[in-house]
Amino acid sequence: MAKSRVIGRPRSEKSREAILDAAFRVLVARGYAGFTIEAVAAEANSGKTTVYRWWPTKGDLAAEAFFHATTEELQLPESASAQADFRMQITELATLLRGERGQALAAMLGGARTDSALGRALGERWLEPRRRWGMARMLRAESKGQLRADVQPGAALAVLYGPLYAPLLFGGEVPNAESVQAYLDVACRGIFTDP
């Protein structure tokens, strides 16, 4: 029985990494509107067909480049104090969003308005895992009496995370470390029972 032959060159992990790194640079520099397969191929010193072979759409490539560049996972802590856990997670998220990854995420959030595949990828791989953790952590806090009785967990998440994501959606700067701590002080007093 004859072996089937793959046409073309075998895929190279080194080439894939170079394309993803180039795609992230293009996304940060040009935003999603200026992000093209052609620009990425030129930046990576690669052929367009090579790029298209791995990522059939610019949304697929942009999302994969973002997740590739965001390899360090944000901690999703589980200590005895829900307030301490949210403070740690939100502080780390703010630091991440103030840099290039925040610029890339802002570009993709804008692009997701017209690219449903990109929107799904962001929802499934970025927003939903963090929302699930946040809601589960809020519900555990509620069951342990760590939330004020009049606080709805979903609303509390919006209050805690809104100041980080709103600038990405509407323009503006993600709060700096000092501002994050100031808004967390105010928000946490209204959400949690512990000081």
Dist CA 124 CA 67 (whole Å): 12
Which residue blocks in the chain are alpha helix, DSSP H?
13-30, 37-44, 48-54, 58-69, 82-97, 100-111, 116-122, 128-143, 153-170, 177-191
Q: What is the pTM of this model?
A: 0.82
pLDDT one digit per residue (tens) for the chain, 195 residues: 455 444 555 568 899 999 999 999 999 999 999 999 999 999 999 999 999 999 999 999 999 999 999 876 677 888 999 999 999 999 999 999 999 999 999 999 999 999 998 999 999 989 999 999 999 999 999 999 999 999 999 999 999 999 999 999 998 899 999 999 999 999 999 999 987
Domain regions of the chain by residue span: 13-69, 82-191
CA 94 and chain centroid, separation: 11
pLDDT digits (tens, 9 = 90+) for 63-81: 999 999 987 667 788 899 9
Q: What is the CATH number of domain 82-191?
A: 1.10.357.10
- Looking at domain 13-69, does it have CATH number 1.10.10.60? yes
Does residue 97 contact residue 105 with C-beta atoms inside 8 Å? yes
Q: What is the pLDDT of residue 5?
A: 45
Residue 156 sits at the vertex; the CA angle it makes with 176 and 180, to the nearest 5 degrees, is 10
